[in-house]
A and B are shown apart, each in its own frame.
Chain A
Amino acid sequence: MPEMPAWLLREERYQPLRDQDRFLDRSILAFLALLARGGALGGAPAGLRPEAPVKVLAALVTLLLVALSRSPVFVAVAGTGLLALTALQEGRVIAAVLKAAGLSGLFTLLVMLPAAIWGRAPAALMITVKVCLSTACVRLVAASTGPAALAEACKRLGAPDLFILVFDLALKYIILLGEFALTMLHALKLRSVGRNPGKTGSLGGIAGTLFLTSKEMAEEMYDGMVCRGFTGEYRVTGRAGLGLPDAALGVAVGLLAAAFLLLRRG
C-alpha cells in the first residue's frame, strides 16, 4: 500500500467562491419532475374509461380532422368536445392537459405574432387554436393511458412491430434513464464545490455517458427479451372488450366527423 499523500492528511481550509450554478439545481428539479410524471397520471372514473386502442384511434381521427378543417366553427366544436372529455378526468390529468395546451398555444402565438401584425390575424389565430387542440388531445391520451396500454393499443391498431418495439423501449427506458441522469447530476453537484467555468462541458459529458448507457441498456434489454423467446413480434393477449365508454367515444368522434363534413366549406 503506497504512503498517504501529505495533502490528504491535512485538514482542508477551503472557502468556496461564489458561482452561478442554479442551472444544476434546475436540471435536477426538471429530472425529478420527469420521474414523478412517469406513466399515466390517472384517468376518468372507472366505468367512464374507454379502452386504449379506442382512445388512440379517436385521438388520431380528431388530430386529422382538426388539421384538415378550415372552419372556425368546426374547430370550436372540436375544442368544446375536447374540453368536455378533459373535464371527465382526474384533477392531475386536467391540470396536465391545460398546462400543455396553454404552453403550446402561447409559444405558437409568439411565433404567429408577425403574421397577425401583417394582417393575417384570423389565420394566425386559427393555427394557434389548432396547435392548442392537438397538444391537448395528445396530452389527454398520454396522461390517461399507461405505457403498456399504449403499446398494446398500437398493436391492436396494426402498427408495425418494429415501431412498437422502439416505442416500447423508449417508454420503458425513459424512467430508468431519467433516474440514471438524476444520479449523474447529483454526482456533478456533489463535486461542484467551487467555481466551474466549464458547466456546459460537464453537462456534455453527462449527455454523452447517458447516450452510451441508453444504447447499452436498450441492447441488453432486447437481448433479454430474445433470450425469453421474443422473435420481434408483439402479441396481444386476450380480446379488447368494448363497452359503453368506447361506444360513447366512437359516437362522439362520429359526430365530429359529421360536423367536419357539414362545415367543410368554412
Chain B
Amino acid sequence: MIQLSGVSCSYGEGDVLAGIDLRIGRGDSVALIGPNGCGKSTLLKLLNGLVPARAGRYAFDGEAITLERLRQAPFAKRFHQRIGFLFQNSDAQLFCPVVYEEIAFGPRQMGLPEAEVARRVEGCLELLGIGGLRGRVPYHLSGGEKRKVALASVLALNPEVLVLDEPMNGLDPRMKQSLREIMVALNAAGKTVLCSTHDFKYVEGVFRTAVVLGDDHRVARVGAYPQIVNDEAFLRARNII
C-alpha cells in the first residue's frame, strides 16, 4: 500500500529524514516511534503529500507520489480521500462553524447526496460517542473532544489509510482509552493505521508493527511491536524512554 525507497527530506539545513526505506501493507497497523525531533511528523506529512521528498521514491498503492502528480487536482483529491491525516494539533484542523458542518465538509465535497452526508455524519458521531456535540462550536470544545471531532471529520471521507500524529497527546486517560478502542476497531474493519506515538501504555494491542526512527533521522529498526516496546535496552539507547 505504502512504499518508501531511500526517501530523504530537508527543510534547508540538513536532512529531517535520511534514506528512509519502509513498506506498509494494506490493513497493517504500524506505530512510528522515535525521540523528539527525529522526523516522525515530517514522515507523516510526507506520506500525506504535504512535504515533498528531496530524494528517493514514495509510492502509494503502486503509484509514485510526486509534486507533479499532486499538482494534478483530480489525482491529488483522490489521493487525499484515500489517506486521512489526524494532525497533532486538532485546533488547526477544525475550521467550520459547528461540529456537524465540520464532519459534513468532506462528504459534501465528494458530491454525496445530503441524505448520505447526514448518514455519514451521524455514523461518525455515534461511533466516536460525540453525538451531543453536533451543534457545538468546535473552537470551544475540550482538547479530547476536538481530537474526536477532527477524527470524525477525517473518517467521514472513508479513507483506506489513517495516519495519526501523536493522537494521545494532551488527552486524559479515559479519552486515551476511548481513542485506543477506536483505533483497534478501525484496523479490525480493514483500515490501514499508521500512528506516531510515545505513549506506549495506552496503545497496547493496537499495533502489529513498530518502526523506530533514530536521532540520525534514519529507520533504526522495524519489527513486531510487542518485541520492540519490550526491548528496554534498545529504547533507552535510542532516547525513546
- A residues with a Cβ closer than 8 A to B are 1-2, 4-5, 7-12, 14-19, 21, 180, 183-184, 186-196, 202, 205-206, 208-209, 212-213
Task: Please determine whether B93 and A187 come into contact, CB atoms closer than 8 angstroms.
Answer: yes
B92 cross-chain contacts in A, Cβ below 8 A: 180, 183-184, 187
- Bits for B180-222, please: 1 = Cβ < 8 Å to A, else 0: 0110011001100000000000000000000000000000000
Residue on A with the closest CB to B84? A190
Given contacts A8-B158, A16-B78, A209-B94, contact A2 B127 (CB under 8 A): yes
Compute how far the CA of A31 lies from the CA of B98 in the bound complex, rounded to whole angstroms. Answer: 26
- Secondary structure of the B side of the interface? helix
Task: Please determine whether A7 and B106 come into contact, CB atoms closer than 8 angstroms.
Answer: no
Task: Please determine whether A213 and B91 come into contact, CB atoms closer than 8 angstroms.
Answer: yes
Q: How many CB-defined contacts (below 8 Å) exist between A and B? A: 116
Quick check: is B48 within 8 A (CB to CB) of the other chain? yes
Task: Please determine whether A209 and B91 come into contact, CB atoms closer than 8 angstroms.
Answer: yes
Compute how far the CA of A4 lies from the CA of B181 in the bound complex, rounded to whole angstroms. Answer: 12
Task: Please determine whether B190 and A9 come into contact, CB atoms closer than 8 angstroms.
Answer: yes
- B85 is contacted by which of A180, A190, A212 (Cβ under 8 Å)? A190
Given contacts A19-B73, A186-B50, contact A9 B110 (CB under 8 A): no
Nearest chain A CB to B46's CB is how many angstroms away? 12
Task: Please determine whether A192 and B127 come into contact, CB atoms closer than 8 angstroms.
Answer: no
Task: Please determine whether B109 and A193 come into contact, CB atoms closer than 8 angstroms.
Answer: yes
Size bracket, chain B contacts:
35 or more
Given contacts A184-B95, A194-B111, A209-B94, contact A2 B189 (CB under 8 A): no
Compute how far the CA of A206 lies from the CA of B91 in the bound complex, rounded to whole angstroms. Answer: 10
Quick check: is B164 within 8 A (CB to CB) of the other chain? no
Task: Please determine whether A11 and B94 come into contact, CB atoms closer than 8 angstroms.
Answer: no
B159 cross-chain contacts in A, Cβ below 8 A: 12
Residue on B with the closest CB to A17? B111
Task: Please determine whether B120 and A5 come into contact, CB atoms closer than 8 angstroms.
Answer: yes
Task: Please determine whether A8 and B95 come into contact, CB atoms closer than 8 angstroms.
Answer: no
Compute how far the CA of A1 lies from the CA of B189 in the bound complex, rounded to whole angstroms. Answer: 13
B238 cross-chain contacts in A, Cβ below 8 A: none
Compute how far the CA of A9 lies from the CA of B158 in the bound complex, rounded to whole angstroms. Answer: 8
The 3 closest A-B pairs by CB, nearest first: A5-B123, A194-B109, A16-B77
Quick check: is B153 within 8 A (CB to CB) of the other chain? yes
Task: Please determine whether B139 and A209 come into contact, CB atoms closer than 8 angstroms.
Answer: yes
B129 cross-chain contacts in A, Cβ below 8 A: 2
Quick check: is B69 within 8 A (CB to CB) of the other chain? no
Of the A-B pairs whose beta carbons lie under 8 Å apart in the complex, a sample of 26, sorted by A's number, is A1-B181, A2-B126, A2-B129, A4-B186, A5-B119, A5-B124, A8-B158, A9-B190, A11-B160, A12-B82, A14-B78, A15-B74, A16-B110, A19-B73, A180-B92, A183-B92, A187-B87, A187-B94, A191-B105, A192-B109, A193-B81, A194-B111, A202-B96, A205-B96, A208-B139, A209-B91
Quick check: is B155 within 8 A (CB to CB) of the other chain? yes
Task: Please determine whether A12 and B109 come into contact, CB atoms closer than 8 angstroms.
Answer: no
B94 cross-chain contacts in A, Cβ below 8 A: 187, 209
